[in-house]
Structures are given as C-alpha cells and as structure tokens.
Amino acid sequence: MRPELLAPAGDLEKVKIAFLYGADSVYIGAKMLSLRARASDFDLDSIKEAVAIAHGLGKKLFVTTNIVPHDEDLEGLDEYLLALAKSEVDAVICSDPYIISKAKAIGGLKIHVSTQVSTANSVLCNYYHESGASRVVLARELTIAEIAALRKLTGVELEVFIHGGMCASYSGRCTLSNIMTGRDANRGGCAHSCRWEYDLYKNNQFFKDDFQIASKDLEALKFIPKLIDIGVDSFKIEGRMKSLHYIATVVRTYRRLIDDHLAKRKIDLDFYYKELSRAENRPFGPGLFEGSRVESQLYGTAQKEPSQEFVGMVLGYDLEAKEAIIEQRNHFRPHDRVEMISPAGDEVTFAVEWIKSESGVLLDAARHPLEIVRIPLARPVEAYSLLRKVSS
C-alpha cells in the first residue's frame, strides 16, 4: 500500500511547494478554529485557491479546525463548515466533539480526528470511526509495536506524525502557556513555554541549571519502512510555521525514501539524514516510537545551524540567455557555491559566476529580500527550484 505523504503549509506558495516536492496532500489552517492561527494567511478565498491547486494536481487539501473552543469561538461555526464543504476541501481535522458532529451534519466533509485528543488505542479509533470519522491522527506517544497492534484492530484510516516539532505534553492536555503567559495553548496561542530554560530544584534546594521540558523534533526516517509495512495510511509532517525551504526539503526527502522503499531500492539512511540536515534548525530524534528515551529529549542547545542556507527561489528560465531568474531570499554573492534542488530532478552544485539585476546591471551581491536577479545557468531549470548556499 502506498501511504499518503501529508505536508503542512502556512500560505499558498507553500501549498504549491509542498505538492511540487512530493506531498500527496497538504493541510492548512485558517484563522478560525486553527491551532496555528498566527501562522495562517488563509481566508475562504485562499482556501478555495488552495483546493483548486490540489485538485488540479490530483491531490488533496485538508483544513484544520482543531482548537479546543470556548463559547465565543463557535460563533459562525455552521457557516464556516458549510463554506469549507462548498469549497470542496477534502477533509477537516477536528478535535472537539461538537465540531465533529456539526461537520458530520453538514455533510460533504470527511472528518479526521486530530492528534489533539491523543487517540492511543483501537477502542477509541473504532469509536471515532463509528461516529463518522474517516481517519484518526494517532497520539504521538505510541510505539511502533503499539501502532502495529492497533492497526490490526481498526478499520479507520490511521495518520501518524513522522517529522517535525513535538508537544512535550500529550497534545491538547497542556496549559503551560495559559498559566505562564495568559496565551491559550489549545486555541492557537501556544507560547511554547515547554521550550524555555528552567532551573531544577530538589527538596526546595537549587539542584541544576539546565533542566529542559522540551523534546527534540521528531525524525522518523528509520521507521518509515516499518510504518509502511504496518499499513499506516498517512505520514504527516508538522510545521505550518516552517519556511518554504524547510517544507521542500523535508517533503522531498520523505518522498524519496517512501518511493525507494516501495520500489525495493536500496535504502541508505545516511543520505536522507544529510538531506534533512540541510533545512532542519532544531535537533531531531526518534520521538516516542521506541518509548520514552533520553535520545528523544532536548538537552543543551535548542538551535543548530542548517548545513545549507536558502538563498533564492527560481521564478523561471530564460532559454535564450541561458539565465535562471531568481527571487532572492537570503544574501548571496558571485563565486558563492550553491546547490539547486528542483521538484523533479537531482540537485546540482555550482559556483555562481555572476549576478545581474533585472535590468542587466552586474551586482556585487543579491542583498535585498525578494529582489529579482539573474544568474547564468547552462541547463534549463524548473520554476520553484530552490537555490541554497553550500556551507564552506
């Protein structure tokens, strides 16, 4: 069975990038009812546009409606769900039973039960299935063995997180942010208090100055073959607030790994690890797939430098001049060594010979955000290819 690769997107450009780099489906959140309200640019018009992009490519688009709502959050719920149904979104991702019941009543919307409710067993999977859900996003606390056992006992589609930031708490059960900052973690305001630095006290005495609650980001490369064999239906990447480069790199890496496994090609995990390291800026680990372990916890530094810096996105290629037209995303200059990755092809590494402005003036650097520049490139390159600087 070929599992779905499900990617996040915080805006329409990221929707396109996620699909082009190999996602089968994309999930987005609008400002209403989304846990990443701050990350969302989506209103109903842009949701329709995202659906059109997805369906035009034969792919799917899901919309999150997975906050734990208070009374005032439910105002306009019926109209909103109806609009999503009319927009032909492929599913809504819900956690609140009332929102689930409303989505079911409206009809035309598939219901995915969010990881916010921490579904961790087949009894609850079957309950949600019988209640009208077509899919359950499993709790991130399950081991591979537990997922395998559960898979045999439920007919509902199963979605599993494979990459990205992890709540240190069971999802939906945390109010650290509420108590520490007044921002509601379960209504889109999470301040990530779990990622702060803490001192540890023991028996009312200062004990250690480097205690951390946070977990490393999840990275499930080595578990992918097993999860495919178990029969997991969908592999989910976290990160609606992540950059375009991150989404492209992570999606592309897992796409290759899944396809390589299904085609019975040789799997070289080191290759995929190196690929992910090009975009990842937080330490990653195995999550809880092998149980609660030291390797999953974040100790020491919370940040690391990605091995490569995203410097530009290809807008097009001038066949006559043999020049790539680039939208600048970070500073780069002539003679920098860069790598071009494209949705379909292999990466190509080269030194930038020169940089010209749109009007043809030679530049000593591409230094302005979103500035359009040209660089020489002998072979044509696809739009949405990404240019990243290779660290020296």
Partner 1 sequence: MEIVAIVKNLSEIDELLALGANTLVFESDRFSRSAVLPLSKDKLISAINTTKAKPAKVYIRLNTIIKESDLDELKVLLDEILEAEPDGIVFHDLTIGVILNKMGHPEKGIYQPGTFNTHKHSLAFLTNLKIERATISKEITMDKLVNLIKNNPRFKLSLIGHGSIDMFYSNRKMLSLYHEYKGLAYESDAKYQIAEKSRHTEFYPLIEDQSGTSIFRPKKLHSFKVIDTFKALLFEFFIERNQMTDTEYYQAIKAYASGDYFDFLRQYNDEYDDGVFTDETFLRKGEAK
| Interface of this chain with partner 1, residues 267 to 296, rule: CB under 8 A | 288, 292-294, 296
Element (H, E) at 129: helix 122-130
Nearer to partner 1, 67 or 366 (CB): 67
For partner 1, which residue of 198, 273, 350, 354 counts as binding (CB under 8 A)? 198
Contact 6, 159 (CB under 8 A): yes
For the segment 214-253, give every residue that binds partner 1 (CB under 8 A): 215
**Can residue 195 be called a binding residue for partner 1 (CB under 8 A)?**
no
- Compare residues 226 and 367 and give the one whose CB is closer to partner 1: 226
302 binds partner 1 (CB under 8 A): no
Site string for partner 1, 22-41 (x = CB under 8 A): ---------------xx---
Please give the structure tokens belonging to residue 24: 């089968």
192: left (phi over 0), alpha (psi -120 to 50) or beta: left
- The nearer residue to partner 1, 211 or 271, going by C-beta atoms, is 211
Task: Give min distance, CB of 173 to partner 1, in A.
Answer: 5
Gap between the Cα atoms of 14 and 297, Å rounded = 29
Q: Of 119-138, which residues contact partner 1 (CB under 8 A)?
A: 120-124, 127, 131
Binding of partner 1 at residue 169 (CB under 8 A)?
Answer: yes
- Greatest CA separation for the chain: 74
Name the minimum Å distance from CB 291 to partner 1: 9
Complex with partner 1: residue 128 or 246, whichever CB lies closer: 128
Interacting residue with partner 1 among 88, 170, 255, 331 (CB under 8 A): 170
314 and 387 in contact (C-beta within 8 Å)?
A: yes
Choices 82-90, 166-174, 244-252, 341-349 (CB under 8 A): range interacting with partner 1: 166-174
Choice from 82, 83, 85, 149 touching partner 1 (CB under 8 A): 149
Residue identified by tokens 């803490």 is 198
312 touches 377 (CB < 8 A): no
Q: Which residues of 143-161 are buried (b: 16+ CB within 10 A; e: fewer)?
A: ebebbbebbeebebbbbbb
Instruction: Show the CA angle centred on residue 195, arms to residues 190 and 196, nearest 5°.
Output: 105
Quick check: 31 and 37 in contact, CB under 8 A?
A: yes
Question: What is the CB neighbour count within 10 angstroms for residue 332?
Answer: 25
Question: Using the rule CB under 8 A, is 182 a contact of partner 1?
Answer: yes
Token pair 């799997």 in the structure block, residue: 267
By the rule CB under 8 A, 165 interacts with partner 1: no
The residue (of 20 and 185) whose beta carbon lies closer to partner 1 is: 185
Residue 75, interface with partner 1 (CB under 8 A)?
no
Please identify which residue in the block is written with the tokens 């990605």: 306
Binding-site member from 56, 58, 203, 320 for partner 1 (CB under 8 A)? 203
Q: Figure out which of the listed residues 174, 302, 372, 383 binds partner 1, where binding follows CB under 8 A.
A: 174
- Residue type, position 294, single letter: V
Candidate list 172, 283, 285, 312; residue touching partner 1; CB under 8 A: 172
Neighbour count for residue 294 (Cβ, 10 Å)? 7
Q: Within 10 Å of residue 65's Cβ, how many Cβ atoms? A: 29
| Residue 139 CB-half CA count within 13 A | 21
Of the pair 188, 343, the CB lying nearest partner 1 is at 188
In angstroms, give the least distance from the CB of 196 to partner 1. 6
Identity of the residue, 135 or 187, whose beta carbon is nearer to partner 1 in the bound complex: 187
Bridge partners, 64 (sequence order):
29, 93
